[in-house]
Amino acid sequence: MTVSFALSPEQQQLKENVRAFARGVLAPLMEEVRAERDPRSRAALMRPAVETAVAAGMLRGLIPEPFGGTGSSGVDAAIFIEEIAVESPDFFITMAGPLIALAPVYEVGTPEQIERFVTPFLASTGAPVAAMAFSEPDGSANFGAPAPADGVLTTAVPDGDEWVISGRKAWSSLLPGWDGDGPDVMTIVCRTPGGVSLIVAEREHLAGRIEVEEYYDLPGLTGCMTCRVRLNEVRVPRSHLIGEEGDGVRLTLNAFMASGASIGTFATAAARKAWEVAYDFARTQKRGGAAPIIEHQAVSDVLADTKGRIEAMRLLGWRALDAVISQDPAAGELALHSKIFGSETGLEVVNDLIKIVGVTAYDVNFPLLRHLDDALAYPIIEGSNTGVRRRQLHDIMVAEDFDPLSASGLA
């Protein structure tokens, strides 16, 4: 089969449509977000844009075709994410909660659960949101660790036909929903009598039982509603257990595979935008000299090297997301490479480009530091590279059946 990296006519149209939305809606929105100082108010500014995207069918594009959506291709997903994230990674993170929260439902959910939990995100109106309540304030890198380690501290205690869930969660976007009464769907990683498990709570269960302890004021991704919350005896039907008790570690790790792969594309978007800023600066600024600074070999070398790394990040992101969506056996390894290589290379690229611009880049009003602030997040969100992702990659490589050529298809 011939391998082509040229976009199809349909992908070209997708790129143009999403780019037009990002430039026309998200770029001016982010000017408002950057001007707002209160983190909760900043996040609320995102809601009208989410409503516009839902009406345009973009949310359905995040739901796989077998479950009623229009999402089908990993490369399509990468194109969509990059074009959005170039202008507002905050927006994509806000809208894309279903990517993680519903992944366990797709994997092992019953037909009744799939119907109930996926339907809100097939809507063509409103701003439905989902959250994967995974991270806890004291950290979750070892969430599946057995006693005497703490592991997951959030508990779900059976009481008749219900689970009673209590604990504290943090970092997942939109944990309290738009108004503090919870998202439409929250997939909760918790400890049941049978071990680490996943239970889905809906807004009706969370209302009045979720308490926001703090709205985090982040240096980057400032439009994301990121909080620390307490779940106070949230009562959920026993039928909302996803899969079996004790299967939560496996299902959670699988749920974060696609999001990990996508981080490489987020980093590509930050590096791409930063490169455009630095390139324009180098072509137009003489800095007291006789010619634009791009004429200096040292400057053009940095631009050339960073451009090459951006291209490598992009193609790895395409390959990783394609492998995840198509359920390629190499998806796990490729997703981890995209997360680790993409996030760390993206941060290095933005930092190198700042050196071209010089001290001017240190002005918050110059459009470069914002991309550094975003890029700083990517090695540590969606499973930190050091605490989680490199450990996962290590486990793959030390397995006796590991073949270093399998991910490339050359084994």
pLDDT at 411: 85
pLDDT at 147: 77
Convert the pLDDT of each residue in 100-116 to its tens digit: 999 999 999 999 999 99
Please check the confidence at residue 32 and state whether its pLDDT lies above 50: yes
Band of residue 71 on the pLDDT scale cut at 50, 70, 90: confident
Phi (first) and psi of residue 185, to 5 degrees = -140, 130
In whole angstroms, what is the distance from residue 127 CA to residue 48 CA? Answer: 8
127 CA to centre of own chain = 18
Torsion, CA 185, CA 270, CA 20, CA 261, rounded to 10: -50
Section 288-316 average pLDDT: 97
Cβ contacts of 275 within 8 Å, gap of 6 or more: 303, 306, 307, 310, 349, 353
Q: Domain residue spans in the chain? A: 9-122, 130-246, 249-408
pLDDT above 70 covers a percentage of the chain that reads 99
Phi (first) and psi of residue 140, to 5 degrees = -135, 20
Band of residue 243 on the pLDDT scale cut at 50, 70, 90: very high
Instruction: Return the HEC string of 264-306.
Output: HHHHHHHHHHHHHHHHHHHHHCCCCCCCCHHHCHHHHHHHHHH
Q: What is the mean pLDDT of the chain?
A: 95
Section 365-371 average pLDDT: 94
Please check the confidence at residue 247 and state whether its pLDDT lies above 50: yes
Torsion, CA 314, CA 316, CA 320, CA 326, rounded to 10: 80
Topology annotation, domain 130-246: Butyryl-CoA Dehydrogenase, subunit A; domain 2 (2.40.110)
Q: Does domain 9-122 have CATH number 3.30.930.10?
A: no
11: exposed, middle or buried (Cβ count in 10 Å: 0-12, 13-18, 19+): middle
Provide the whole-model pTM: 0.95
Section 331-336 average pLDDT: 96
Please check the confidence at residue 2 and state whether its pLDDT lies above 60: no
Convert the pLDDT of each residue in 172-205 to its tens digit: 999 999 999 999 999 999 999 999 999 999 999 9
Please check the confidence at residue 330 and state whether its pLDDT lies above 50: yes
347 CA to centre of own chain = 16
- Asked whether the beta carbons of 337 and 323 are under 8 A apart, the reply is no
Please check the confidence at residue 1 and state whether its pLDDT lies above 70: no
Band of residue 226 on the pLDDT scale cut at 50, 70, 90: very high
For residue 114, give the amino acid letter: I
The class that CATH gives domain 249-408 is: mainly alpha
Convert the pLDDT of each residue in 400-410 to its tens digit: 999 999 998 88
pLDDT above 90 covers a percentage of the chain that reads 92
Strand 241-242 to strand 226-237: parallel, antiparallel, or no bridges (unpaired)? unpaired
Section 145-150 average pLDDT: 84
Convert the pLDDT of each residue in 267-298 to its tens digit: 999 999 999 999 999 999 999 999 999 999 99
